[in-house]
Amino acid sequence: MTEAGFTPRVFSGIQPSGNLHLGNYLGALKRFADAQNQGIQSIYCMVDLHAVTVWQDPAELRHSTRELAAGFIASGLDPAKSILFNQSQVAEHSQLAWVFNCVARMGWMQRMTQFKDKAGKNAQNASLGLFAYPALMAADILAYHATHVPVGEDQKQHLELTRDIAAKFNNDFGVDFFPITEPVIEGTGTRVMSLRDGSKKMSKSDPSDMSRINLTDDADTIARKIRKAKTDPEPLPSEVKGLEERPEARNLVNIYAALADMSVDQVMAEAGGKAFSEFKPMLADLAVEKLAPISGEMSRLMQDVSEIDRILGNGADRARAIAAPILRQTYEIMGMVGPREV
Ligand code: AMP
Ligand code: TRP
């Protein structure tokens, strides 16, 4: 139980927008699987309603949603233990989002830096959904009374907004109904950088495919991308401190540590002083050993999408069983007339 008496519950969402990569795996999927295996109730959502805040090709959205689900399962998320579903199947997200549209203030929303970045110069032409996006995110989280939300650094402001919305709702109606959610921000240790530029995050939007390892890459492609990864000419230093001004070397060592479940110190004890001509093949072997089974399992799952759809449908039923009573209580608190089952 948290201090306010809420049962610990993890919720996170990922947009189904294609190209799952090593950064998503080490920064999100693998960590989610580790949390699940520690026995914390976990709910993971493919946020298709967030994706359509900018236009999506319907066939691609369908494919990406299933592929993301396959990525979760192949990374060790067990649909029997955790709840895996896509957002649009649980209408309570949209319904609670409307309530939060009425709680959040225009001024709060206008401060969201991600909206400004995504809308760019032509904000007048952005969708209303893109502006309201963080209120839907608050609804995703609070529909489950989630207490812990693992996300990347870029989502911190949206989580602060979620806390503000929960606090304002509680205050406006004199209740202690929505929990004040704890952000669980991914540490810099789990941030995977581009293989072409150690100062940039590995990202699905990087135009160079050589900058990232996709979870759908086969063994040869993974090995080739690591062989060609940018480095400096020096061998690895003998101590962690020697990596400070060497972002590309640091990145490859971090990736090795994360894939091997080792600390950076342990990696340096094993590989310190080695030339990249020796370290890169070690890393390539390790990456292939860890990632090839994931890409293999993803492609196996994608051959039978009816099984994925069944898993998502089942997850949606279990998600709804949690969210529906919370929405009904929210409506009740606000004075909406309706069935009273709670
Ligand atoms: P995105 O694909 O950017 O929507 O991110 C989905 C999830 O993957 C989020 O939890 C991010 O924090 C995580 N993620 C994305 N890129 C990286 C990266 N380069 N390193 C670590 N985690 C990442
Ligand atoms: N906005 C998040 C992102 O782009 C995705 C997201 C939607 C999310 N709803 C969420 C993350 C709820 C955590 C909790 O990464």
Give the closest residue (by CA) to ligand 1 atom 18. Answer: 23
Q: Would you give the DSSP letter of residue 11? A: E
CA distances from 137 to 116, 158, 161, 172, 251 (A): 17, 8, 9, 20, 31
- Assess whether pLDDT exceeds 80 at residue 3: no
Residue 224 near residue 250, CB atoms below 8 Å:
no
Q: Rg of the Cα trace of the chain?
A: 21
Taking the C-alpha atoms of residue 287 and residue 213, their distance in angstroms, rounded to an integer, is: 10
Residue 341's pLDDT band (cuts 50, 70, 90): low
The closest of 150, 172, 163 to 4, measured between CA atoms, is 163
Choose the catalytic residue: 30, 81, 116, 118: 118
The closest of 205, 103, 188, 113 to 152, measured between CA atoms, is 188
Segments in 303-341 forming alpha helices (H): 305-334
Q: Let me know if 168 is a catalytic residue.
A: no
Q: Report pLDDT for 220.
A: 94
Q: Which residue has the higher pLDDT, 100 or 342?
A: 100
User: Residues for the chain: how many in total?
Assistant: 342
What's the whole-number average pLDDT of the chain?
94
- Assess whether pLDDT exceeds 90 at residue 40: no
Q: Report pLDDT for 280.
A: 97
pLDDT, tens only, 139-178:
999 999 999 999 988 899 999 999 999 999 999 999 999 9
- Domains of the chain by range and CATH? 9-191+304-334 (3.40.50.620), 209-300 (1.10.240.10)
According to DSSP, the β-strands at 148-151 and 83-86 are: unpaired
Q: Report pLDDT for 183.
A: 84
Residue 185's pLDDT band (cuts 50, 70, 90): confident
Neighbours of 323 (CB within 10 A): 24
Residue 296's pLDDT band (cuts 50, 70, 90): very high
Atom of ligand 2 nearest to the CA of 136: 9
Q: What is the sign of the dihedral through the CA atoms of 46, 156, 136 and 38?
A: positive
Q: Give 283 Cα–ligand 2 centroid separation in angstroms.
A: 31
- Assess whether pLDDT exceeds 80 at residue 190: no
The owner of tokens 């109904």 is: 177
Q: Let me know if 201 is a catalytic residue.
A: yes
In this structure, which amino acid lies at residue 253? V
User: Is any atom of ligand 2 closer than 6 Å to the C-beta of 12?
Assistant: yes
| Share above pLDDT 70 across residues of the chain, in percent, rounded to a whole number | 97
> Residue 150, SS3?
strand
Q: Identify the residues whose C-beta falls under 6 Å from ligand 1.
A: 14-15, 23-24, 26-28, 151-152, 186, 190-192, 201-202, 204
Tokens of 173: 């109606």
The owner of tokens 């004075």 is: 335
Please compute the mean of the pLDDT values over residues 208-212 and round it to a whole number: 97
Q: Let me know if 200 is a catalytic residue.
A: no
Residue 219 near residue 288, CB atoms below 8 Å:
yes
Atom of ligand 1 nearest to the CA of 15: 4
pLDDT, tens only, 102-145:
999 999 999 999 999 999 998 999 999 999 999 999 999 999 99
Give the closest residue (by CA) to ligand 1 atom 14. Answer: 24
Distance of alpha carbon 12 from the chain centroid: 6
Measured in degrees and rounded to the nearest 5, phi and psi for residue 42 equal: -125, 135
Residue 342's pLDDT band (cuts 50, 70, 90): low
User: Is any atom of ligand 2 closer than 6 Å to the C-beta of 86?
Assistant: no
Q: Report pLDDT for 291.
A: 96
Q: Report pLDDT for 8.
A: 86
> Closest ligand to 143 CA?
2
